[in-house]
Amino acid sequence: MNDDAKDAPSGKSAGRYGKMRIVFLDRSTIGPSVNVSKPTFDHDWVEYDRTAPDEVIGRLEGADIAVSNKVPIRRDVIEALPKLKMICIPATGHDAFDIDACRERGIVVSNVRGYAANTVPEHTFALILALRRSLVGFRQDVINGEWQKAAQFCFFNHPIRDLVGSTLGIFGEGVLGQGVARLARAFGMEPHFAAHKGVEGLGPLYTPFDQVIEESDVLTMHAPLMPSTRNMISDREFGMMKKKPLIINASRGGLVDEAALVRALDAGRISGIGFDVLTSEPPLPDNPLLSVLDRPNVIVTPHTAWASDEAMQTLWDQVVDHLENFQRGEPSNRVA
C-alpha cells in the first residue's frame, strides 16, 4: 500500500447516525497478516498507511469516526472537525489523544484492552531468558568463530543464570503484569508487585516500592505512562539496587530514565537491559541506548512485544466491535 487514501465498499444497514464516514489514519501500524474487516453498518471507509501531523485535519474533514493508533489528535484538531463523533484507538494507551477536549465535545473515545495478555508476557520472558543465559553474546561468539577455536566442547565467555529461586519485581498489576507473574511462577521465580511509587496502604498484593528495587533479580515494567510514573526508575533507584538486576521494559518508553539506565549499566549496577519501548519511537539519534546496542547484555526490540499475529487480530476484532457498538448507541471500552 502507499499513502494515498483507500476506499472500501460500504456495509449494510444505516443506523441512528445514517451513513458514516470512517477514516483510518495509520493502517501500517497493524501488521499485514491481520484481516482488517469492516463494520456491517452503512459507511464509507477510507484508510491511509501513515498520516503526518499536518495532514490530520485535512484527512479527517467530514469524518464521523477516526481510527488512529498513534497519530495524535489534539484539541486544535478536534476544534477543526465539528462532524467528528468518535475516535477508536487500536491500542490500549491513549496519551496521543486529548481526552479532555473529547469529553467537552461529547466525542466518544474507545480503546482496546486485554488483547496482549499472552504476547507481551511471552516477549518479556523472551528478553529475560535471552539475557539471563547470555544468548546474544554466545550467538555472536559462534558467528565470530570463537567456538570453532575453542580447545574444548564449550567455553564460558558470558554469565549463565537460572531463573528458579530468583525474585521478579513487577511494576504494574494489570492484565499484563499478572500474565508475567504467572509465567514467573512457572519458572520457579518469586514475583512481587511493586507498590506505586510514593503511595502506601495499597493492600497485601503489593510489596513496598523501595523493597522491590532493592531485592529483585529482574525488574520488569508493565505500568501506564503518566506524570506519576514518568522516570519512576532513575538514578536514585539504580543506586539502591543490591542484586544487579536485569531491567526489562515492554510497556511504555519513559517509565525508566534512559540516560540513568545507561549510566547504571556502565557502573555495573545492573546486569543487562531488555527494552521493547523507548521514549521516542523510532529512536532519535541522541537516545542513550543507541550507544550500547552492540553489548551482549543489551537487547532492544522495535516495539513488537504486542504484535503477535494472534494478538493483532484480536485487537482489530475489538476495533470493529467498538465501531458496531457505537453505531448502535452502546459505545464500549470508553475512555471518554
What is the DSSP annotation of 144-194? TTHHHH-SSS---SS-----TT-EEEEE--SHHHHHHHHHHHHTT-EEEEE
Question: Is the link from the previous residue into 282 a cis peptide, with omega within 30 of 0?
Answer: yes
What confidence score (pLDDT) does residue 328 get?
A: 95
Residue 10: pLDDT band (50, 70, 90) is very low
pLDDT digits (tens, 9 = 90+) for 47-79: 999 999 999 999 999 999 999 999 999 999 999
Mean pLDDT, the chain, integer: 94
Q: Which residues are catalytic?
A: 252, 281, 303
What confidence score (pLDDT) does residue 146 get?
A: 95
Instruction: Give the CA dihedral 33, 277, 333, 90, nearest 10 degrees.
Output: -30
What confidence score (pLDDT) does residue 9 get?
A: 46
Residue 311: pLDDT band (50, 70, 90) is very high
What confidence score (pLDDT) does residue 202 get?
A: 86
Query: What is the C-alpha to C-alpha distance for residues 254 and 177, in angstroms, rounded to an integer?
Result: 18
CA 186 to chain centre: 24
Answer yes or no: CATH 3.40.50.720 is held by domain 119-300. Answer: yes
Q: 33, exposed or middle or buried, with CB in 10 Å at 0-12, 13-18, 19+? A: exposed
What confidence score (pLDDT) does residue 301 get?
A: 98
What confidence score (pLDDT) does residue 201 get?
A: 83
Query: What is the C-alpha to C-alpha distance for residues 129 and 120, in angstroms, rounded to an integer?
Result: 14
Sign of the CA dihedral running 75, 26, 112, 36: positive
What confidence score (pLDDT) does residue 14 get?
A: 44
What confidence score (pLDDT) does residue 183 get?
A: 98
The arithmetic mean of pLDDT across residues 91-119, rounded, is 96
The arithmetic mean of pLDDT across residues 273-299, rounded, is 97
pLDDT digits (tens, 9 = 90+) for 172-213: 999 999 999 999 999 999 999 999 999 988 889 999 999 999
Spatial CB neighbours of 239, under 8 Å, sequence gap ≥ 6: 269
The proportion of the chain whose per-residue pLDDT surpasses 70, expressed as a percent, equals: 95
What confidence score (pLDDT) does residue 93 get?
A: 87
The proportion of the chain whose per-residue pLDDT surpasses 90, expressed as a percent, equals: 90
Spatial CB neighbours of 236, under 8 Å, sequence gap ≥ 6: none
- What's the half-sphere exposure (Cβ side, CA atoms, 13 Å) at 164? 2
Residue 6: pLDDT band (50, 70, 90) is low
What confidence score (pLDDT) does residue 11 get?
A: 44
| Residue in 262, 269, 224 with CA at minimum distance from that of residue 244 | 269
Looking at residue 275, its amino acid is: F
Domain(s) labelled CATH 3.40.50.720 in the chain stretch across 6-115+309-327, 119-300
φ/ψ region of 224 (left if φ > 0, alpha if ψ in -120 to 50, else beta) reads beta
Q: Which CATH architecture has domain 6-115+309-327?
A: 3-Layer(aba) Sandwich (3.40)
pLDDT digits (tens, 9 = 90+) for 123-179: 999 999 999 999 999 999 999 999 999 999 999 999 999 999 999 999 999 999 999
Q: Which residues pair with 18 in a beta bridge?
A: 15
Sign of the CA dihedral running 134, 135, 138, 143: negative
Q: Would the pLDDT of 13 be above 90?
A: no
